[in-house]
A = this chain, B = another copy of it.
Amino acid sequence: MERHAENNCPTAHKAPVAPYYAVIFSSTLSDNAEGYGAMADRMVALAKEQEGFIDVESAARTSGGFGITVSYWRDLESIRKWKNVSEHAAAQRMGRDAFYKNYRLRVARVERDYAFERDE
């Protein structure tokens, strides 16, 4: 059964009514990524403390080092503030200086949101 997120969905605590915003971060690690895991974990914990944070989803890195993290935010202002949190800004520099071979960052406005949950 497909449900609209705004219609009494069981995961509604994570489902604000659209529109809200997504930051889609897809990246490939460099060969010089020692310490990356601890930094990534810390950034997730720090993001969760920010005003306007909604949720974050990460999918595991393959052996090739490719991964996707999508974070969700109330509005563009929350994303702008999170980008400029000093510890996060330092992590971004470390990412560019050492951890990442490449990345792609997209800011997107979520317009529709559906959740499916199996009825057991």
Contacts and interface: CB of A to CB of B under 8 A. Distances in A.
Q: In terms of DSSP, what is the predominant structure of the interface of chain A? A: strand
A41 interface: no
Contacts of A96: 1-2, 116, 118
Interface residues of A, number: 38
A49 interface: no
Nearest to A115: B104
Given A24-B24, A100-B116, A100-B118, 19 more contacts: A11-B104, A18-B106, A24-B70, A26-B57, A26-B59, A26-B70, A59-B62, A59-B66, A60-B62, A60-B66, A70-B70, A101-B118, A104-B115, A104-B116, A105-B113, A105-B116, A106-B110, A106-B113, A109-B111
